[in-house]
């Protein structure tokens, strides 16, 4: 009954899902896409460890780097919000859906204790824009680097970025260690 009133007031529905024995609370509008943020972070940690390390870039703030990646409208509401844990261990991941250069984009904003710790973009372009975004991070990116499918750049610690072609173009901007 509470969910019915909440949906009528906000347009969002709340449901709890379990992935790998861990409960996640999802708040969504429309047709939801459920995801396991812990699995996403584990995969990121693995892929970051095998990515080709590139030169250090002079970025010292996450916002500076994010401006080089797809931009959603400020008023866009998340399609799905996933919350796990509580208190100081709360992880909140908001998923936004929009278009960039006519390609659908999913943007995941990771927050811990209401502070953005990382942002992940998946551009459904079959890797067409991967080189463009690698050049936006590092203007010295060269075509010979394309032999790898994943590149990472360190900014002023602990900021780093990763651009990869993983079926589609994927972009990560992160503050600190993963998991």
pLDDT tens for each residue of 91-124: 999 999 999 989 999 999 999 988 999 999 999 9
**Tally of CA atoms within 13 A in the half-sphere of 57 that contains its CB:** 26
Contact call for residues 61 and 54 (beta carbons, < 8 A)? no
Work out the mean pLDDT of the chain and round it to a whole number. 87
Q: Return the top range by mean pLDDT from 9-23, 49-63, 155-169.
A: 155-169
Distance from C-alpha of 174 to C-alpha of 51, rounded to nearest angstrom: 15
CA dist 125 and 11 (Å) reads 30
DSSP 165: E
Residue 17: left if φ>0, alpha if ψ -120 to 50, beta else—which one?
beta
Q: What is the mean pLDDT of residues 141-162?
A: 85
Check residue 29 and give its pLDDT.
87
The structure's pTM equals 0.89
Is the model's pLDDT at 58 over the cut of 90? no
Element holding 37 (H helix, E strand): helix 37-50
Q: Which residues contact 160 (CB under 8 A, 6 or more apart)?
A: 48, 152, 153, 154, 173, 174
Instruction: Look at residue 63 in the predicted model and tell me its pLDDT.
Output: 87
């Amino acid at each position: 009954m509470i969910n019915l009133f909440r949906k009528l007031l906000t347009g969002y529905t709340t449901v709890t899902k379990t992935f790998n024995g861990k409960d996640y609370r999802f708040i969504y509008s429309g047709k939801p896409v459920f995801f396991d943020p812990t699995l996403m972070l584990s995969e990121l940690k693995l892929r970051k460890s095998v990515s080709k390390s590139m030169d250090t870039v002079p970025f010292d703030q996450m916002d500076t780097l994010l401006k080089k990646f797809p931009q959603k409208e400020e008023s866009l509401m998340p399609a799905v919000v996933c919350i796990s844990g509580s208190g100081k261990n709360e992880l909140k991941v908001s998923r936004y859906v929009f278009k960039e250069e006519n390609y659908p984009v999913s943007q995941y904003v990771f927050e811990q204790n209401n502070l953005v710790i990382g942002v992940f973009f998946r551009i459904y372009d079959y890797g067409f824009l991967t080189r463009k975004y690698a050049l936006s991070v590092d203007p010295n990116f060269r075509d010979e680097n394309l032999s790898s499918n994943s590149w990472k750049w360190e900014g002023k610690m602990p900021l780093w970025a990763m651009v990869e072609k993983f079926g589609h173009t994927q972009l990560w901007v992160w503050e600190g260690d993963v998991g």
